Each structure stands twice: as C-alpha cells, then as structure tokens.
Structure 1
Amino acid sequence: MKKKIIFTGGGTAGHVTVNLALIPKFAQDGWEIKYIGSENGIEKQLVARLDRVPYAGISTGKLRRYFDWNNFKDPFRVIKGIFQAYSLIKREKPNILFSKGGFVSVPVVLAAWLNRVPVIIHESDITPGLANKIAMPFATRICTTFPETAKGLDPKKTVYVGAIIRDELKRGSRERGLSLCGFQADKPVLLIMGGSLGSQKINQVVRQNLDSLMRYFQIVHLCGKGQVDESLIRPGYKQFEYINEELADVMAMADMVISRAGSNSIFEFLYLRKPMLLIPLSRAASRGDQILNAESFRKMGYCDVLQEEELTTKTFLQKVEGVFNNRDRYIAEMSKSNSDETMKQVIDMIKQLAK
C-alpha cells in the first residue's frame, strides 16, 4: 500500500523551497503527495508548477507581533483553518506531515496532531519564527538548519540537519544563464536578489549606483513583482520580477551575489560557492532573524554584511568592491562546508517516523 505524505508551509517562497526540494524525491519513491496551503498564497502558485501534486487551500490568519485591526479577525480565520485542515487530514489519513512554517502551517500542524499523525517541522532560521514556535509543542521531530537553533529547543526531539538544497540548482549552466540575459562571457556578473517579495531599499540603492556598478559588472536584478523599471533597460542590465525555472542558470553564471539574508537563499549561495554581500531585513521590518543569519555566515567567513540602517551609496559601493576583490578568500572558506548529506538524512527521518 502506498504511503502518503502531506506538506505544508507558505506565506513567502522561503516557507516553500524546502518542500519543493523534497516533493520530487518522494514522488520518485512512489509516495502519494498532497499539499495544504493558504487559499491565495505564493505557495499555491509554486506548487501548481509541480506535476500531479493536489493542493488544498485553507483559511488562514497572519500571526503578527504588532497591533493591527486584523488581529481581531484573524483568530477566527485560524480556527476555521483548523477545522478545514482537521477534516482534510482525517479524510486523507497521511502517514506523516512535513511542515516548513509560515502562518498557514499552524492550523495544519495542530490538525495533524489531533489526528495522531506524526509531524516533522523544519526551521530554517537561527531563531524560530512565531508560527513554528506555536507549532513546535505538537511536533514529533524538529529539524534545524543552524546548529545554534537546536541549543534552545527540546533536545529529545530536535535534530540539527543543515540545509536542504534543491537538486535543480546543482544542474545550473553558466552558458545558459549568459544566453538568457544576453551577457558577455568575459565580464563578471553580479546577481542581485531582494527575496521573493523584492526589496525597495536594495532596488533603490542599486539603481542609484547603476552606472558605477556597470563599469565592472553585468547585472541581473531580481527586483520583485511590479518593480521592473522599463526606463533602465540597457545592455548588461537584465531585470526580472521573479525567476523560477531559470534560477539555477542565473545563479550558475553569477560571480558575486547581493541578497537579503533569508536562510534558504544564503545556504544555496554557500553550496554554489558564491561570494555574498548580505543586506538583512532590519529589526524594524522583521523579527531580526535575517540579521542573525547574516552574522552567523559572516563569522564563518562566507560573506560580508551591510545593515540596512547603514545603507548609503558610499557604504554600498565600498562593500561591493571589498567582497569582489576578496572573492577568492570567501570561496576558499565556503569550500570547507559540506551539505550533501542533509537531504538524505531528512528523507530517512521522514520514512522512519511515518506510521
């Protein structure tokens, strides 16, 4: 009889990426796969690109750490989501649930626990997000990407596993990337990413200094939905709102990366040995997880960091020059890292715990 796994997670691409890496592995092994996400989140779009993965959308409410009038409405949406997820899981009878976090995951994890379905939670950041914090008491096992994270959690069910890297990123082609962007092979390529939702502050400082940057680099800029500036179109500067299938090729051709410090992305850059300048989300706009992620990588010698509050033309250009001029040193440090076994470790854990 086929075993069945349900995946959940959403809100941003970071809460879906690991699921997208694992799903093909279980499909190859003949598992039945379902996905529970929000009714209109980015996870619905991303899962729709996969072959034969049924998607169920449930009611969700955002978990906020600040005052908002929606805080009075969202608990009712979450309660509705719990009932919807409970009915789905009771009907589907999965052998296990794998949760990547995000606000949609809370009702699904609770529903799985109520149905006595084993739950594995994966936490990418050094400090767990609010959704995972709420869900962790109901988990059978908690996987962490950073060793620091495991120290603050229940040692009986927490395992440090490292980062899960999507197989398709390992198959990227520099030549295909250059062809996609219309770039030359003899000039360095700078990849700029602001996360799946884009970053207006990074976009602004890049565009203010475009002429200076283009003296040394060809630039591919993933700027976020609705953020492409048609007036800046020129040879050597390629803008995309978001890239999916071609991302592996774009990353393969990059000689350096400027990025936010979301865990999934920076571990992918680490695996691919891409020198990084990280500009983490400020504490004013986040819970500070990206700041901690970036600082951990800086201490390991994998990157340099520029805090958003210190982002000016002068500091930006100085940091870009510093990372690029020292790229060989960063690559040497990154080459000491090895995350090839993580995928196998997590898959084995899921198969072992599936009842």
Structure 2
Amino acid sequence: MAGKIMFTGGGTAGHVTVNLALIPRLQQEGWTCEYIGSYEGIEKQLVSQLKDVTYYGISTGKLRRYLDIKNMKDPFRVMKGVMQAYRMIRKSKPDVVFSKGGFVSVPVVLGAWLNRVPAVIHESDLTPGLANKIAMPFAKKICVTFPETMNHVSKDKAVLVGGVIRDELRSGSKTRGYGLCGFTSEKPVILIMGGSQGSKVINEKIRSLLGRLTDRFQIVHICGKNQVDASINNRYYKQFEYVHEELADLLAMTDLVVSRAGSNSIFEFLALRKPMLLIPLSRIASRGDQILNAASFVKSGYAESIQEEELTDERFMAAIDRLYDQRMQYVQQMNKAQDSSVDDLVEMIKQAMK
C-alpha cells in the first residue's frame, strides 16, 4: 500500500538520520516523499542528497530551557511556522506525517493535527526531548528506541521499535575503508566521532594522545566542520570533516569506536557490533540525554563510558586498552541484542494511516 508521506525533523544530523533510512525504503514501495524543515538547517543539506524528495522550508524558533532575549521572539516564529506547515500540509494532502524531532518538527506536527492528518513521532533518546514533549499530545503514535522510554510516554501511543539504521551501513567494504585512509591490516582501527558538529573536547584529547594511540592503533577521525588539523603528519591518522556514503566503508574496517552518545549513532554501532567508548555531552551543554543513553549501553554490556569532566589522559588510554583487549566479550553481549529493521517502522507508519 503506497501513499504520500511528509517528513520533518532537524537541527542536528541525529534528527534526520532515521528519516534518511526510511525515505529510500518507502520510495521503493512507490510512496511519494516530501520534507518540511528549516530554511537553511542541516536537514536541508542532508535531504538534498536524496532523489525525488520535495523540500519545503518554514520559519522556526529554538525551544530553549534557559533565559535568552530570543525567547521573546521565537514563539512568534513558531506560530508563523505552524501556519506555514498547516498550509503546506493542506495543499499537499499527505496520508501521514513522520517526525524525527528537533525544534522544526513542532510546527509540522501541529499543522498535521490541524489538518487531521495522523502524525507518527520517533523518539531516539531514553527520555523525550522538549520538542517531542510538546508535540506528543498531537501525535497518533510514538515510536521509542529504548525500553526505558516506555515509562516516559503515553502507554496507549507508545511502540517500542528499537534502533533503526540505514541499510547502506551494512554493506561497507573493509578494503575500501583501508583505501580511503591509506591504512593496512597491520594494526587495529579506532573510529573517532564527535557528532554532526564535531567535539572540540574529543578532538583535542585524541590529538594530544596521538603518539601513544598510534603505537597500537590506526585512527580515523571524523572531526567536524573546520576542525581538521592540517599540521599533523602521521601515517596512522586520517582526518575527515564529515563523511556521507564513505561511513559504511570506514565502519567496516573499524574495531572500536570512540563517540558521543547520540542515540542514532550508538544504535548503528550496536547493530554493526562495534564496541564503544562513549563520552556523552555534559549536562552543562545538554539536557543530559546522552548521559542516560551511555549509562543504558554500559549496563547492557555494549560500551564503556567516561564523563567529559573526568576525561583524563590515563583514564582514556586505560579504557581504550581495556575495550580492545575485551572486545570479544562486548561483541558477545551485542549479539544478544534484538535488531530492529526499517521494515518494522514502515509497518508502524502504515498502521497509523488506518
């Protein structure tokens, strides 16, 4: 059963990733896919790489938990966005709206509700973000990733779908990965990721310890826009600002991952059975969702974690060595995890249309 679906979600790559996994699958079934995002957000950049997806920009306002003069103006931007989304949805007449969250999604879910179009929300983190909290009363179904999240949302709307990863990540080539980086099989590989914007803290830590790390490992470092250090000359260290289709090949050759603890990324690493050292965003820089995500994965035996405030050289190196030496134990725990599929989420979207 094919139909028309309107996607939304943005602000960070994490609020787009699941949409990028769903769109090609639905298009294969004959669905028409459209997208509402902000005028110039990262979602526009990412969605522009897909074929046959019409993109609409709307006015957005950031939902802040702190005092800021912009809080006076942003409610009006959100209201303008609601009316824009309402008109777009009324004109386009989608059968269903799928929201991945982020501040741009609130006007779209409200616009769908005003048009009596069913909306499905996907919440990746263990506890719902502010945007999803606002939008959830107007949604028909709420898909959650962590079992613990079921305690934080309406029981009659919540559906546990687990982590959803892009199909293309499963088809990476270790040989192509080595070729991209100029690496060989002589040393194991660590992949460093700091989120879509990069992480200054992680970048600086890796570079300060590069000599010690490359004694044992090869390092591929996705460091974020404008954060490549061209002065470093080390045959066992390869930097990228950002990667797209290359990520599958880089992951194929990877033995360990060092990463923030954004839900989409860590579930991708879990599905690919990559042991992780997680360094979640601190509560100073976030609402603490990554700290909870990391704690859940540590408890399940999938990862080790170090809080950013406790990220000393010795703790970092000890955790890396321990993670590698015990990597097969982590992989065994990961093999017990129940993998979810894009198909499960597609079926949920179809059910919401009825």
TM-score by length of 2: 0.98
Q: Shift of the alpha carbon at 1:234?
A: 2.6
The Cα of 1:338 is off from its aligned counterpart by: 2.4
Counterpart residue number, 1:292: 292
Q: Give the 5 Å matches for 1:11-90.
A: 11-90=11-90
CA distance in 2, matches of 1:48, 1:344: 23
Deviation of the 1:324 alpha carbon: 1.0
Supply the distance in 1 between the matched residues of 2:212 and 2:113 (Cα, whole angstroms).
55
Distance 1:233 1:108 in 2: 47
Q: Give the Cα–Cα distance (whole angstroms) in 2 for the partners of residues 157 and 303 of structure 1.
A: 30
Instruction: Look up the equivalent residue of 1:281 and give its one-letter code.
Output: L
How far has the Cα of 1:29 moved from its partner?
Answer: 0.7
What percentage of residue pairs aligned between the two structures are identical?
63
2:353 aligned with 1:354? yes
Residue 343 of structure 1: how far off its partner (Å): 1.9
Matches of 1:148 and 1:100 in 2, distance apart? 19
CA distance in 2, matches of 1:310, 1:352: 46
**CA separation in 1, counterparts of 2:344 and 2:244?**
26
Q: Where does residue 250 of structure 2 map in the other structure?
A: 250
Show the counterpart of 2:130.
130
Q: What amino acid is the match of 1:272?
A: L
> Is the 2:128–2:152 contact (alpha carbons within 8 Å) kept by the matching residues of 1?
no
CA distance in structure 2 between the partners assigned to 1:5 and 1:109 by the alignment: 13
1:226 corresponds to which residue? 226
1:261-300 → structure 2 map (5 Å cutoff): 261-300=261-300
Q: In 1, Cα distance between the equivalents of 2:152 and 2:335?
A: 28
Q: C-alpha offsets along residues 303-335 of structure 1, whole Å, 9 cap, x if unaligned? A: 100000101111111111111111111111111
Matched, 1:112 2:96: no
> Deviation at 1:236?
1.4
Check the 8 A contact 2:2/2:29 in 1, yes or no.
no
Instruction: Output the aligned Cα RMSD.
Output: 1.0
Quote how far apart the aligned CAs of 1:2 are.
Answer: 5.8
| Whole-angstrom CA distance in 2 between matches of 1:120 and 1:37 | 16
1:328 partner amino acid: M
Secondary structure, in 3 states, of the residue corresponding to 1:97?
A: strand
- Is the partner of 2:177 in helix, strand or coil? helix
1:71 and 1:222 map into 2 onto residues whose CA distance is 33
Structure 2 counterpart of 1:184: 184
**1:214 alignment partner in structure 2:** 214
CA displacement 1:274-309 (0-9 Å, x = unmatched): 010000000111000000000000000001000001
1:255-286 CA distances to partner (integer Å, 9 max, x unpaired)? 10000000000000001110100000001110
2: distance between equivalents of 1:92 and 1:354? 16
AA at the equivalent of 1:253 = M
Q: In the alignment, what sits opposite 2:336? A: 336
Distance in 2 between residues matched to 1:264 and 1:109, nearest whole Å: 21
Runs of at least 5 residues in structure 1 that lack an aligned partner in the other structure = none
Deviations 1:157-188 (A, max 9, x none): 11111011110001011111000111012210
Matched residue pairs, number?
A: 354
Matches within 5 A, 1:144-159: 144-159=144-159
Aligned partners of 1:319, 1:185: CA distance in 2, in Å?
A: 23
Q: Secondary structure at the match of 1:121?
A: strand
